[in-house]
Amino acid sequence: MMKVYAVLGDPISHSKSPAMHNAAFGALGMPCTYHAFRVRPSDLKDAIYGAKALGFGGLNLTIPLKEDALKYVEPDPIAARIGAVNTIDFADGITGHNTDGIGAMHALEDAGVPVAGRNILIIGAGGAARAIAFQFGYSGGDIVIANRTKERADRLARDVRGGLSELGKTPSIESIGLGAIPEKIADADILINATSIGMHPNIDATPVPAGLLRPGLAVFDIVYNPRRTRLLLEAEQKGATIVEGVRMLVHQGAEAFLIWTGREPPVDVMVEAVVRELR
């Protein structure tokens, strides 16, 4: 019998998840199929419980459903403290997970860049920055969060510090405004753009001037359309190690695949499927 999986969101037509997961299921010869459904926040509870009742294998969630889902699932410790769920598993009740942070970490590991013990400068204080800061702080990175509105960076730093302390972690978390980036980037090992700056169609925008980039710095942009943002192109020209957002997109999906199926996901197949979709 065919097992069904899905991603829910509003809007959802842009999602690359169906291509990515269906390619993975096909490569492993699994009798599974993955679809995208538009679901409004007011219908989320019914959608989750309906998918469970219909025997779905699992769900992914995207904007604007990740935070609301906490009301309807049993979140794991990281998802609970991040305050957002992007993966739901039905194997044992209705459990919620957040794979965004671990996806970002695996993307860096693909490039030979470890997180533990590194100085990490994250630009942005939204949902993606939140997941990355929690995961990287949990994994032993020293975090600096930079945001246009410093109060949002302050609030996120407090949340991460408090949430991880409940898990027995004592992370180094600092918050700054954008004006302090030139000073802090000099000590950074990893720079992460966790904003939408540089996303299509605004491809000429960049969150960091090229003059601040250098060899020895790892530059990771979560934007995946275009694959090579202006930030990544300029970082490569400066001799920095670059990490494309496609890698995070795939690895967060691969982690969900592992949660649902217990099988090692074919990451390269998933990357190829996403790249084809982006073309």
C-beta neighbour count of 184 within 10 angstroms? 16
Q: What tokens does 50 get?
A: 């309906």
| Alpha-carbon span 241 to 219, nearest angstrom | 6
Helices (H), 72-147: 77-82, 100-110, 127-138
- CA dist 227 and 225 (Å) reads 5
Q: Quick check: 58 and 27 in contact, CB under 8 A?
A: no
Residues noted as catalytic: 66
Residue spans of beta strands (DSSP E) within the chain: 3-9, 32-38, 58-61, 74-75, 87-89, 95-97, 119-123, 142-147, 173-177, 190-193, 218-221, 241-243
Cis omega (within 30 of 0) for bond into 215? no
Determine contact, residues 31/3, Cβ cutoff 8 Å.
yes
Q: What is the dihedral of CA 235, 241, 123, 107, to 10 degrees?
A: 140
